[in-house]
Amino acid sequence: MNSEEKDEEIVPEPSSELEAGEEGDMGEAAIKKLRERIKRLTEEKQEYLDLSQRLKADYLNLKKEGETEKAKIREWANADLLLELLNVADSFSLALGNQEALKAVPENWRQGVEYIYQKLQTVFRDHGLLEFKPQIGDLFNPESEQAVEKVVTGEETEDGKVVAVVQSGYRLHDKVVRPAQVKVASWQLAENN
């Protein structure tokens, strides 16, 4: 016997033949059972409504998480290519850093090389890859810098400070993908002879 059959058995059908005065206890019992059934059905309806709202919220949260993941994947999709292009940017930096060689070439050639380098940097910026250079005199930061050489200093106040930047670092979407290469001062007491 299913729940609908039980409900039908519990709730007697009002007789259309009953006169208003003849209802008596049977009418009050039927009304009471109908009210109980209405209350139970209202509670069930609220449970289903609550469940529906929870499921809808879960679906929207899942959809939002999926969109966030897709955005992250798009951000990092070109990371390998961008990192390979850093070698090209390094070559440009070396070429542009050699002032004697730049003075020896025609002005148009130098301007063309600088323009190409600027375009490459624009591509990097457009994809979230940003160059950074530590400042000379700043404390060495192992999270974004790589010490490639220790330079002995006699000044205690210079200990642990950047004395030269060998190569710029790069961040991709606020994550260091290539640390800057720096030379760091290391204080040592002067030996007495």
- Contacts of residue 36, defined as CB under 8 A and 6 or more positions apart, other chains included, come to none
The identity of residue 141, as a single letter, is N
Q: Residue holding tokens 């679906």?
A: 59
H or E stretch including 107? helix 107-126
H or E stretch including 66? helix 24-77
Helix, coil or strand: residue 184: strand
Percentage of residues of the chain with pLDDT beyond 90: 48
Report the chain's mean pLDDT, rounded to a whole number: 84
Name the pLDDT band for 146 (thresholds 50, 70, 90).
very high
DSSP line for 110-160: HHHHHHHHHHHHHHHHHTTEEEE-PPTTSBP-TTTEEEEEEEEES-GGGTT
Average pLDDT over residues 182-186: 94
Confirm if 132 and 154 have CB atoms less than 8 A apart: no
Per-residue pLDDT reduced to its tens digit, 1-53:
444 544 444 544 554 444 444 445 568 888 999 999 999 999 999 999 999 99
Per-residue pLDDT reduced to its tens digit, 55-91:
999 999 999 999 999 888 887 888 888 888 998 888 8
Higher-scoring residue by pLDDT: 75, 94: 94
